[in-house]
Structure 1
């Protein structure tokens, strides 16, 4: 399996059987969507779900399937998608994507908590905007590292709780270049060898 980061939380998965992408949002490169069999959305926020690009995708590739929590209707409206929830498993691109989790992390008590699901594909876990720890082994964790709903210590505790041997940071578009350097330095110090940044546009083998 090959993983390519396309900005913020958007990661494309290429296998020998096809390709799919998770969370192509407004901070992501739309090139991630080219030729994919499926799109998986963790939740409705625009940095994870770019409605105009998804509409263009279905115009160009109407056979592409979109998956996400039922609350996506608030963003996608009449755009067709398949509702998924915790415990589901979807066969795609020669592998299986398991759905894990239910809720977005709390941003502030005054704001509603929206549904959020994570996705586990061949041991690679993308949690979306949550700190859900799967009850099965994770070999590659795509870990959020900067968000209005988290602080760095929470990212460290989440990474340690999951215990994956490889950790790639995501959800980092709100960081400046200097901010990325600081966060990477601290996480490398606290997490060690598992922490490995994928630059936007780069591909790694998982």
Structure 2
């Protein structure tokens, strides 16, 4: 059993992890509540798409918070530096990297964004395994490292690159105790309900739990 933490969904793909007064935010993008950056100690970015990172907002947060650290793929780091972010607090993350961010143990996994269309150039996407138990894949179906048992999978359920059948198969492949849907800002309430019914019914996770944006939830891996 891991140390308890608090999770807060910031909308879409944005999640805040909090423990012992320290806060780690993943993928604060344009579809998210960027107020979560106001007290963040560290930020992880999976890839460059604006629904996962708002460069102007992140640069502004770095200006306000002199201890804020950011980890992201090298291309995102370059964009942030070009936008005026302090390079000494930006860290390039690549597959296999392990580091500590805001007191959380983090492992970067994978390097490829799911294919949107063959005519579009490929994009680097780094998934993040937090404390060895929670997997945030960004825009991918990246599997955890061999031998790692994921307790909580944050599973994307709607995107131009995504079939819901693939999301269901992803949950089956990872085999988490808990699956929570993310990446669904473009869905209506009816669409979210449909995703919940199918992914919870067919994915095979012991528990399927939809987080309410802005509502902190206590979480402890089993």
Q: TM-score range by the shorter chain?
A: over 0.9
- Report which stretch shifted further, 146-155 or 70-79: 70-79
Alignment pair present for 1:72 and 2:84: no
Flag structure 2 segments of 5+ consecutive residues without an equivalent: none
Alignment pair present for 1:91 and 2:105: no
1:47 corresponding residue in structure 2: 51
1:116 corresponding residue in structure 2: 125
Cα distance in 2 between the residues matched to 1:205 and 1:86:
29
Q: CA RMSD in A?
A: 1.4
Can you list the C-alpha shifts for 1:151-193, whole angstroms capped at 9, x where unaligned? 0000000011000000111001011121111111222221354
Alignment pair present for 1:16 and 2:20: yes
1:197 corresponding residue in structure 2: 210
CA contact (8 A) 2:180 2:208 kept: yes
2:91 corresponding residue in structure 1: 82
CA contact (8 A) 1:44 1:74 kept: no
Cα distance in 1 between the residues matched to 2:78 and 2:122:
14
- Report which stretch shifted further, 183-192 or 151-160: 183-192
Cα distance in 2 between the residues matched to 1:40 and 1:98:
11
Alignment pair present for 1:187 and 2:199: yes
TM alignment of 1:23-172, pairs within 5 A: 23-73=27-77, 75-76=79-80, 77=82, 78-79=84-85, 80=87, 81-122=90-131, 123-135=133-145, 136-172=148-184
TM-score of the aligned structures, taking structure 1 as reference length: 0.95
After the TM superposition, which parts of structure 1 deviate over 3 Å for at least 4 consecutive aligned residues? none
Can you list the C-alpha shifts for 1:13-63, whole angstroms capped at 9, x where unaligned? 001261110000000001211221110000000000011211220121122
The number of equivalent residue pairs is: 206
- Report which stretch shifted further, 96-105 or 174-183: 174-183
Alignment pair present for 1:174 and 2:186: yes
SS in 1 for 2:66: coil
SS in 1 for 2:56: helix
